Structure 1
Amino acid sequence: MATASISRSDIVWRTLAAVFGGYAFTWGLIAFGMAAMVAADMEFHDAEHLTAIIGFLVFLTIFLTAFAARNIVRVWLVLVGGAVVMASAAELIKNLIT
């Protein structure tokens, strides 16, 4: 049975992706979710609480996936790209409803 050798830099990059990339992606998701729910006439605080609960579960999933994924570059691309897209969409929705 072959064992996989993991370098220290790989562990560092995965930890950074899990913590900071996960935070950015989750922040974008929460911003987008809140903007979309408020635009759909949900009360602000209800949307805030619902997206916070969903965000916690998403962050946990991202954190674990960052260590389980085979390709860390793909993880970074998904996290940063998703964060940018969702934050931009949230800003667009916010500008449309105000």
Structure 2
Amino acid sequence: MSTIPHSAAPRSPRLHLAARIVAAIFGGYGFAWGIVAAGASLMFAAGMDFHDAEFLASLFGVLAFLAVFLWTFAARRLWVVWTVLVGGGALLAAVGSFVQSRLV
């Protein structure tokens, strides 16, 4: 007997794993890109030199990508992962774009 209720078991384990891999790679990239965009524009707006802000934001982006990549496989619900990655990445990119438009 299985300890997992039938309704909680994924219909296709391979499809579920593929969805997590796609979320980890592409969703993580989009989220990290949003971190870099928002971070660089906010730090530059705060008075930091552009190249220093860009470099520091890129470091934060790499760390965010690693954290999100690992979280994607550890999370229980895949829809929460996709919601956070797509929604958070879009929000961060919008913040970066807004701040950049106010600077130019």
TM-score per shorter chain, which class? over 0.9
Amino acid at match of 2:42: A
Q: Say which one has the larger Rg.
A: 2
Amino acid at match of 1:33: G
Count of equivalent residues: 98
Segments of 5+ residues of structure 2 without an aligned counterpart are none
Amino acid at match of 2:30: A
Instruction: Give yes or no for the alignment of 1:32 onto 2:29.
Output: no
Segments of 5+ residues of structure 1 without an aligned counterpart are none
Provide TM-score, normalisation by structure 1.
0.93
Distance 2:64 2:3 in 1: 33
Partner of 1:83: 89
Equivalent of 1:44 in 16, 28, 50: 50
Provide TM-score, normalisation by structure 2.
0.88
Deviations 1:21-70 (A, max 9, x none): 00000001100000000100100110111111111111001000000000
Partner of 1:94: 100
Amino acid at match of 1:62: V
Distance 2:68 2:19 in 1: 14
Output aligned runs, 1:46-61, within 5 Å: 46-61=52-67
Distance 2:40 2:23 in 1: 24
**RMSD over aligned Cα atoms:** 1.7
Partner of 1:21: 27
Distance 2:81 2:21 in 1: 12
Distance 1:68 1:55 in 2: 20
Distance 1:55 1:85 in 2: 15
Distance 2:57 2:48 in 1: 12
